[in-house]
Structure 1
Amino acid sequence: MADRRLGRLAIRIAALVLFIGIWQAAGDDSINLLFPTFTRTVSVWWDLVESGVLPITLLITNQTLFVGFLIVLVLGIPIGIFTARIKLMDKIVSPYLTFLVAIPMIAIIPVIQALLGLTFAARVTVVVLFAIPYVVINTAVAVRRVDPVLTEMAFSFGASRLMTLRDVVLPAAVPGMMAGIRIALGQALIGMVVAELTIVGAGIGSLIADLQGRFRVAPVLAVACSIVIEGIILMSLVEWIERRLGRWSKQ
């Protein structure tokens, strides 16, 4: 097992080194308008960090992500459970979920902006709409796929519906629910960036717009890489939580 992990790690490191090498070779630092090299991008990124500009803008932008994703979890998981357990709820919610998954979300951002203006609430709403369908759908599917033998056995031993849900259904549904949360986090990150770029705030969106307006390619790329790194870290954190909960659900 340890050898296999080391092998996967070595492959990932080799792929990263190859990617950086290609980036460095493809870049051109002769003028600022051209695609920058990796070393120049890192240098510019460090300047943005050292000046405090990047940390402050990321902090402001991540407030939108944190609040929006918290709302997604607080609303999406219960709605998914009720959708799976109550047929009337399923009939009410399903058309809206289909609509949110099928429509290009960027098409309704002007509507959100018209209703809520250039506000924090508008940006949070975009994040929620991007992410919540995946939590609801995966939670509902995971709950429906729980082996009915397990629930019938719980009822036969006198467990109430609430106890059965808490002690049998939810532990068995954890893998499916976490898969939905992982997908939703990726969508929330996309929603965060889209909201910042379209509903201009004081965070990453305004910084990118300012740098873009001055044709500073390297700083724009450095900011974009920061968002990518943040996404990788957050997704890794969710995967770690998923593994921990997976062990609990099997107990």
Structure 2
Amino acid sequence: MAAPLSLRAPAATPRLPRLAGTIRQPLLGAVAVALFLLSWWGATASGMVARLFLPSPVEVAQATWRLLGSGQLVAAILASSARVFAGFAIAALIAVPLGIAMAVCGPVRAVLTPFISLLRPLPSITWIPLTILWLGIGETQKVAIVILGCWIYILLATHEATRRVDPLLVRAARNLGAGDLTVMREVILPAALPGILAGLKVTLAIAWSCVLSAEMVAAHNGLGAMIWEGKDWGDMTQVLVGMVAISLTVLLADLVATRLERALLPWERHRRH
């Protein structure tokens, strides 16, 4: 005799484990940071590490409050951020189209490849003497260092993301009668966009290292100049405040970039869970 059919709906998958995992990860991160700060404080308070070389976290917090109160820290963050985002935006406007053109057009790739091979090994700091000679030590020179230091990485990331687009998708679109512009707009760009955005996010951190190197050499404001000033005066608390400010500013920029990425790539959300 066959068993009677159950009219009850299947039980829903419990969400408690996923919720617990979501809470546990930030908690573990907070505990790790707390243990790090406690170890740092213990090493300086016990005399294991001389405060001349590594101030305690309490002293760094006091210096942060002092620099915030004077307005120096906020002014330095704004100056460096303006240079970074101006140079990064210009570099992206140049490098993203070139990277796409390299991936889809052989002659463009043949022309640019030798220059990329020559320029790729050069770090941004090597451009500082030439840019000072060409542009002086004003804002244009700082922005130029950011452009020269990060455009090639954006180009390479864009080229690689575009090159990896599945050719079957392109062939299918062409078989359906799509022209070159339609294939580029409807197939290649949507498929390459996740890789392009990932490359932009990585290069944004490189842009910060570029502007800091420029500010440490020839600048009167900005986080790099503030760190170098602290070094010259032997004020290690100011150096550490500048370092922490850089990390937090880049972290905030990365969070904004992640939100923007989710908005631009709604079809990728299911892969991130």
Task: Give the alignment's TM-score, normalised by structure 1.
Answer: 0.91
Aligned twin of 1:210: 229
Aligned twin of 2:186: 167
Which of 131, 152, 164 is the matching residue for 1:112?
131
For the residues of structure 2 that align with 1:154 and 1:142, how far apart are their CA atoms?
19
The answer (yes or no) to whether the contact 1:35–1:217 under 8 Å persists in 2 is: yes
Q: Which runs of 5 or more structure 2 residues have no equivalent in the other structure?
A: 1-17
Aligned twin of 1:246: 265
Larger radius of gyration: 2
Q: CA deviation at 1:32?
A: 6.7
The answer (yes or no) to whether the contact 1:174–1:249 under 8 Å persists in 2 is: no
Matched to 1:56, the amino acid is A
Aligned twin of 1:144: 163
Matched, 1:58 2:68: no
Q: Which runs of 5 or more structure 1 residues have no equivalent in the other structure?
A: none
Aligned twin of 1:19: 36
For the residues of structure 1 that align with 2:269 and 2:225, how far apart are their CA atoms?
46
For the residues of structure 2 that align with 1:164 and 1:249, how far apart are their CA atoms?
20
Q: CA deviation at 1:227?
A: 0.8
In terms of fraction of residues, the more helix-rich structure is 1
Task: Give the alignment's TM-score, normalised by structure 2.
Answer: 0.84
Q: Greater relative contact order: 1 or 2 (C-alpha under 8 angstroms, separation 6 or more)?
A: 1
Alignment of 1:123-134 (within 5 A): 123-134=142-153
For the residues of structure 1 that align with 2:43 and 2:153, how far apart are their CA atoms?
38
Q: Aligned in 2, Cα 1:170/1:249: closer, same or farther, shift over 3 Å?
A: farther
Q: CA deviation at 1:206?
A: 3.1
SS at match of 1:102: coil
Aligned twin of 2:110: 91
Q: Aligned in 2, Cα 1:179/1:100: closer, same or farther, shift over 3 Å?
A: farther
Matched to 2:21, the amino acid is R
Of stretches 5-14 and 25-34 in structure 1, the one that deviates more from structure 2 is 25-34
- Structure 1 segments of 4 or more deviating over 4 A? 28-32
User: What RMSD in Å do the two structures reach over aligned CA positions?
Assistant: 2.2
Aligned twin of 1:178: 197
Q: Aligned in 2, Cα 1:182/1:41: closer, same or farther, shift over 3 Å?
A: same
